[in-house]
Amino acid sequence: MSDIDQKCADKIRLEAFMHRFLVFRGQDIPGEEQVRITSLLGSAHEETSTPGREKQNNILDKRLAFLSNDPKEGLLGNGVEGWHSDGNTIDTPHLFTLLYCKKASRLGPTLIVPLKEISDALSEDERNYLEKIHFVSGFNSSIVHPLLYKHPHRNDDTVFLALGSLSGQYLMESEEDGGRKLVQLSKDETQYVMDLLESKLLSANLIFALNYKPGDFLIMNNQAVAHIAGPGTQLPPEVVGVRLIHRSTVQGESKPSKEVKVNYKCAKFSPFDEGYCIFSLKDSVFYPRVGYFDSQPVARQRCKSFNKFADLAAIHSEEWNDLVKSIITEKGHPHWINASNPQGTDIFWGEEKGHFANWDPEQPNDHGGYEDCVVLGPFAKWYDLPCSGPKLHDKANMAPVIVWEDGIRKMLNVYPLCGVPQKHLHIDIDL
């Protein structure tokens, strides 16, 4: 890691967006080098501005925090307050958290859990209730964020999680006299919300424990995961040895919001006479390498994760195909649609045989083997591709190689093109 440049850092950003956290083992990263790496990932946050870290011994740079179980080495008691994402005392929560293990104790893991899956585990009634709740910081009551919101880069559901003493008394949206008002919950009501979230977290069976070795370097996509300093992190050095973690963070870029950052193309063409909207997840799904992309079934699930009523797009006519041309051109990549191609030029939408297709003149061709699904390529022409996605057998290009609209032959990853009935968007769209 010590010799990475901006190009490499940009790839690490994509990996962290995709996988949510990364662990690099056996690293030798001095404090000034950690600050440099942090700055390559974004704007490094000044750690001494965080409550409780104003005065630190042995710190060479305000953008570093030394966390330990030994007061001679660093600050005590950090990260044990409750499950949390970092930056819960400021308006724009951190984008990334970087933890470098300088010294490892015999017991002192960082525990990590993904937040989208915690949101997905909520029942409909629980979600409807929590959608109205706003987090309030336990250190600064002016910091208020929606409890459930959209990840600013992945665009999937996430949770503003900062439990225990990190939370103040939450607020709840209330409709009064035709307007929206935030009403403070009682301490018991706030505790109920925190207990509900923690019960989902603990029962999800998704907790990853990083049992540190010296030289471990952890990068967390902060708003996609929650973490906590696990059992034993604050036991005295004479019992478990010294634990010393160097912490740095990348400043956030926006306040938590429920706003969805996608562009919809909507129409009322047959058979969707009540309105149907199509959108790309190109900017919400991160594939760090060419040849690394989702299968068609996984792409379908990504659409459903974005909106439970969505699926890969259904293109039933030339009108619909013309509508999505601009999406394909803008994104510059092939996109999955919800069609299968079991034989010849046949198209099926589930069990129903389709009556429209827009095949490229050289397609379908079952190139290199059976290709039973459909992607939209340049100019929204249709190409066949295995439903399983990347081709893993010898001598095959893992991703499709296509002459794109600019005339250049390229190997490109495939992204989900999703569709959803307009009535399920709950936003105003002119059709």
List the CATH code of the domain at 265-424. 3.10.100.10
> Is the separation of the CB atoms in 233 and 243 below 8 Å?
yes
What proportion of the chain, given as a percentage, has pLDDT over 90? 78
- Tokens standing for residue 199: 């019960």
Pairing assessment for the beta strands 276-280 and 265-267 based on DSSP bridges: antiparallel
The CA distance from 269 to 231, in Å, is: 58
The pTM score is 0.85
Domain with CATH 3.60.130.10 in the chain: 1-257
Higher pLDDT, 399 or 358: 358
Q: Find the length of the chain.
A: 431
The per-residue pLDDT for range 130-142, each reduced to its tens digit, is 999 999 999 999 9
Give the SS3 label for residue 320.
Answer: helix
The CA distance from 211 to 213, in Å, is: 7
The per-residue pLDDT for range 23-56, each reduced to its tens digit, is 999 999 999 999 999 999 999 999 877 766 555 6
What is the structure's pLDDT at 27? 96
Average pLDDT of the residues of the chain:
92
The CA distance from 85 to 160, in Å, is: 7
> Is the separation of the CB atoms in 307 and 150 below 8 Å?
no
The per-residue pLDDT for range 259-306, each reduced to its tens digit, is 877 899 999 999 999 999 999 999 988 887 888 899 999 999 999 988
Query: What CA–CA distances, in Å, run from 98 to 24, 49, 60, 131?
Result: 11, 17, 17, 30
Domain with CATH 3.10.100.10 in the chain: 265-424
Structural fold of domain 1-257: Double-stranded beta-helix (3.60.130)
Q: Which amino acid is at 409?
A: R
What is the structure's pLDDT at 49? 72
